[in-house]
Amino acid sequence: MANGLEVNAGGLRAAAGASDALADGLAAEAVGGFFCGDDPSAAGVSAVNAALNMVRQRQARRVAGQGGDLSVGAGRYDDTDSSGADSISVTV
């Protein structure tokens, strides 16, 4: 094989676990509270914080989805690798 593809299913699973941990952290840590008062900038700060929290939640869902995809890919790789090895051992 010219480009020597190497896959490590354990590495894929480790990356999936790290993605899950990152997603949990993103979802759990909200950006600062909401400010009130007569200061006009308080409304602006609250609006920005709300927007940041929405982005964090969206990113958490995206990272969790990618972690799930890595787990599925690792399982499929193991299945394919195992069935390929079985086929070779039957042929030989």
Instruction: Tell which residue, 5, 4, 3, 9, has the closest CA to residue 77.
Output: 9
Instruction: Retrieve residue 91's tokens.
Output: 């042929």
Q: What pTM was computed for the model?
A: 0.69
Q: What is the pLDDT of residues 3-62, one digit of tens each?
A: 776 778 888 899 999 999 999 998 887 777 666 666 778 888 888 888 999 999 999 999
- Asked whether residue 11 is domain-assigned, the answer is no
In a domain, 33, yes or no: yes
**Which among 37, 29, 32 is positioned nearest to 49, based on CA atoms?**
32
How many domains is the chain partitioned into structurally?
1
- Residue 63 predicted with pLDDT over 90: yes
Q: Is residue 91 part of a domain?
A: no
CA pair distance 60, 70, nearest whole angstrom: 15
At 82 the pLDDT is: 78
Residue 27 lies in a domain: yes
Residues 6+ apart with CB under 8 A from 22: 63
For residue 56, is it within any domain? yes
Give the residue from 30, 27, 31 showing the smallest Cα distance to 64.
27
Tell which residue, 58, 64, 56, 51, has the closest CA to residue 29: 56
**What range defines the domain where residue 80 resides?**
20-85
pLDDT category of residue 66 using cuts at 50, 70 and 90? very high
| Digit-coded pLDDT (tens) for 28-45 | 877 776 666 667 788 888
Q: Is residue 10 part of a domain?
A: no
Specify if 1 maps to a domain. Answer: no
